[in-house]
């Protein structure tokens, strides 16, 4: 399986990193080796002094598809969850400056945390899902899918133009503002419409 991530999908996060608003979605991939195994903590790697959390709504693909028309996108996923796109920000900033690919800073082992899943029938409107992230019991990121520049169905259609979507693939839909650094012994907790989805320890 693969993880397809969307960058710069919330206007407020684009401005906090001084990025420009893209004319189409920014995509990058994480390999399956990036996923944190169930009930394991996140270990800060030695190669970075600035690992950032990025809370994101995530979608699990339930059907094989390519060139999916937007009006059919909803048939390709059943479950929604929360993920953290851990980013070695110092390394990413350096790679961006040099015009090089981001993979080392975004796709390293442990850079992909995936929560439990909730069936989409639990949400009244998929384009109005509230979510937030607490760091040591303080809310640091607040998001709502209605603030996404490209909505879930648009993303699925767009992504499938380039990458065949397979059952079990996961889409990270981008992070709202409030990203920040993690330190040893921090606790991250994610909430989807007030339902606690995870508790992750930083080591």
From 15-23, 30-38, 80-88, 111-119, give the range in contact with Mg ion by CB under 5 A.
80-88
Identify each DSSP E strand in 86-202 by its residue range: 87-88, 112-119, 130-135, 138-144, 170-172, 180-181, 187-192, 195-201
From 53-61, 96-104, 133-141, 152-160, give the range in contact with Mg ion by CB under 5 A.
53-61
- Contacts (CB under 5 A) with Mg ion, residues 84-123: 85
CB of 81 to Mg ion, least distance (A): 15
Question: How big is the site for Mg ion, counted in residues (CB under 5 A)?
Answer: 3
Asked if residue 153 binds Mg ion (CB under 5 A), the reply is: no
Asked if residue 54 binds Mg ion (CB under 5 A), the reply is: yes
Asked if residue 143 binds Mg ion (CB under 5 A), the reply is: no
CB of 71 to Mg ion, least distance (A): 27
CA distance 145 to 203: 30
Task: Give the ranges where 98-194 is alpha helix by DSSP (H).
Answer: 103-106, 152-162
From 42-50, 94-102, 151-159, 174-182, give the range in contact with Mg ion by CB under 5 A.
174-182
CB of 121 to Mg ion, least distance (A): 26
Q: Which is nearer to Mg ion, 73 or 173 (CB)?
A: 173
CA distance 142 to 133: 7
The closest residue (CB) to Mg ion is 85
Cα 175 to Cα 16, 56, 63, 77, 172, distances in angstroms: 11, 5, 25, 20, 9
CB of 167 to Mg ion, least distance (A): 23
Sign, Cα dihedral of 63, 40, 110, 153: positive
Asked if residue 175 binds Mg ion (CB under 5 A), the reply is: yes
- Contacts (CB under 5 A) with Mg ion, residues 179-198: none
CB of 190 to Mg ion, least distance (A): 14
Strand order in the sheet with 87-88: 87-88, 51-53, 180-181
Sign, Cα dihedral of 102, 31, 184, 56: positive
Asked if residue 83 binds Mg ion (CB under 5 A), the reply is: no
Residues that bind Mg ion (CB under 5 A): 54, 85, 175
């Amino acid at each position: 399986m693969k993880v397809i991530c969307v960058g710069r999908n919330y206007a407020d996060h684009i401005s906090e990193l001084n990025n420009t608003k893209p004319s189409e979605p920014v995509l990058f991939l994480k390999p399956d080796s990036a996923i944190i195994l169930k009930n394991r903590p996140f270990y800060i790697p030695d190669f970075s002094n600035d690992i950032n959390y990025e809370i994101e709504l995530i979608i699990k693909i339930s059907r094989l598809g390519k060139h999916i028309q937007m009006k059919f996108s909803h048939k390709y996923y059943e479950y929604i969850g929360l993920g953290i796109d851990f980013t070695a920000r110092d390394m990413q900033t350096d790679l961006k400056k040099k015009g090089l690919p981001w993979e080392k800073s975004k796709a390293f082992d442990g850079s992909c945390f995936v929560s439990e899943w909730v069936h989409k029938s639990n949400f009244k409107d998929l384009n109005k899902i509230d979510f937030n992230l607490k760091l040591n019991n303080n809310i640091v990121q607040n998001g709502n899918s209605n603030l996404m520049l490209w909505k879930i169905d648009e993303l699925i259609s767009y992504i499938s133009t380039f990458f065949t979507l397979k059952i079990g693939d996961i889409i990270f839909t981008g992070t709202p503002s409030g990203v920040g650094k993690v330190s040893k012994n921090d606790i991250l907790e994610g909430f989807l419409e007030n339902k606690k989805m995870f508790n992750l320890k930083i080591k």
